[in-house]
Structure formats: C-alpha cells, structure tokens
Chain A
Amino acid sequence: MSKGARNLLILGFLSAAIALTTTGVSLAIYHNSGDIYLDRSRPGFLPDDDEIEKDKSESGDDYKLDENAIITTEILDEYLESLLQEIENIDTYKNPFSSEGLSDGRLGI
C-alpha cells in the first residue's frame, strides 16, 4: 500500500471516529438535559393531523401589545380582552396532570 493510500485510510477512520464521538456526545447531552422529554418531534409523540390543522388556523390570531404603545384605557381594555381569551384557552385543559391520570383505577391495577 502506498503512503498516500495509507494516509487516506487513516484519515477516513479518524473522520468516522470523530463523527461517532460527536454524535454520541450530542445524543447524551440531548438525553441528560431533558430536552428529549420536551421534544414532540420524536417518533410516537408526533401531533395528530387535526392538531396540525388547528395550529395552522390559530397561528394568525396572536395578540401582542406594542412595546412603544401609549398606555391608555382603550389599550388596556384591548389587552385585558385578549388576555382573558388566552386564559379561556388554558382553562380548556381541566385539572392538567391531575392525580386521576395515574390512579390505580385508570391504570388497571
């Protein structure tokens, strides 16, 4: 084997080793940091089609207070009305993460 071919082979193995190491470290950080539990793009946790459609229809409705706005009672009225709407959205989830979810009866124990 020529010197050039040997060096190429070493370079190939070294590149593969570096790639495997960095991938392993990234996955370890991803898992240990807890981000894996917040990531909904992993298999088995993808959103349903109806959720995607609902997200698309709601995406243009977000209110945001202008940081440069002159604060008046009208501005605050609009602010409160929109904030109460957000609260209504939150309240559609009755008792999130309640104890009922992991009760013996619910699990089949």
Chain B
Amino acid sequence: MKKFLASIALVATALLAVLASFNYAKAETNTDPTSEQINAIKKNCAIIKDNLKSIQYEDSRVRVHLGRYYDTIQSNFITPLNIALIGNNISNINLIENQTNFVTARSKFASDYIAYQKGLEELVSLDCTVEPVRFYNKLTSVREKRAKVANSTTKLRELTDKQVNLVTKLREVL
C-alpha cells in the first residue's frame, strides 16, 4: 500500500513538473502584441519603417567601426605578440588561447550581425498596415538576434581586457 501511494506521488510530481515546464515554455514564446500595439503599428507604420531604416544605417556604421578596431587589435596586437614571443623563446599558453578565442569571437560577431541584418531587412519589407501581428512577431525575433550581436561585442571587449591583463602579468615576470 505504501509503495503504491509513493509511486502515485512520484508520477503526480513528474506530471506537475512537465505541466509547469510546458506553461513556462508557452509563456516564453507568446509574443503576440496587445491591441494597443497593433493599432499603433497600423497607425505609425511609415514612421516605424523610417526608424528601422535609420537603425539599419546606424548599425552598419557601428559595425564597420567596431570591426575595424577588432581587426586592428587582432592583426596589430594579439597575433604579432604571440609570434614575437615564439621568436624570443617565451612560452605563454594563455596568450595563445586568448588569440584563438578572439578569432572565434570575431567570426561569431560577423555571423550574428549578418543574421540580425537579414532579419531586419525582412522586417522592413513587411507591410505593417496589413500584417501588424506578423510584423510584431518578426520584430521580436529581430530583437533576439540584435541581443546576440550585443553579446558578441561584449565577449570581444572582455577578451581585449583579458589581453591587457595577460600582457601586464607577462611584463611583471620579465
């Protein structure tokens, strides 16, 4: 009897856990706009699209400039230092690892940015007066992609800081 009740309790707990996770997942993916948002999208469609296009332009400008700085850091600082250290018979695995991570992070930044801009272009091409819900759902998706680009830039900044710390430590042991 006790075993039977224990197994019932176990099954009930498992079912509750599954239901809870389902509801959580459902809440996460529910991005339907409110009626106020739908009306605002329909009413301000032209202004929204103009704002999106100016964001597209501004983002491309920021990407080029940041990309140039990251390229300079990799080509003029990180890679030449590791080559020079080899020439000086100085071993520093952390600096080599940082170079690998930096290259990977740069590649991710480019791919995240491309995915974001593709989404943004698709968003701009939608007619928000006719399909405001689809427009808003697409906007939500583009926001997530933009967040990934932001995370990529944060990662690159962290790796650059790490380079400073590693070189400072190297300087202390010379």
B51-69 interface code vs A (CB 8 A; 1 in, 0 out): 1110111111111111001
Number of residues in B with C-beta < 8 Å to the partner? 63
B48 touches A107 (CB 8 A): yes
Please tell me if A52 contacts chain B, counting CB pairs below 8 Å. Answer: no
A34-69 interface code vs B (CB 8 A; 1 in, 0 out): 100110100011010001000000000011111111
Please tell me if B94 contacts chain A, counting CB pairs below 8 Å. Answer: no
A93 touches B65 (CB 8 A): yes
B residues contacting A by CB (< 8 A) are 37, 40-41, 44, 47-48, 51-53, 55-66, 69, 72-73, 75-77, 80-81, 83-85, 87-88, 90, 110-111, 113-118, 121, 136, 139, 142-143, 146-147, 149-150, 153, 157, 160-161, 163-164, 167-168, 170-171, 174
Q: Add 8 more A-B contacts to A102-B55, A109-B48 (CB < 8 A).
A: A37-B60, A51-B61, A62-B72, A67-B83, A67-B84, A82-B77, A96-B66, A101-B55
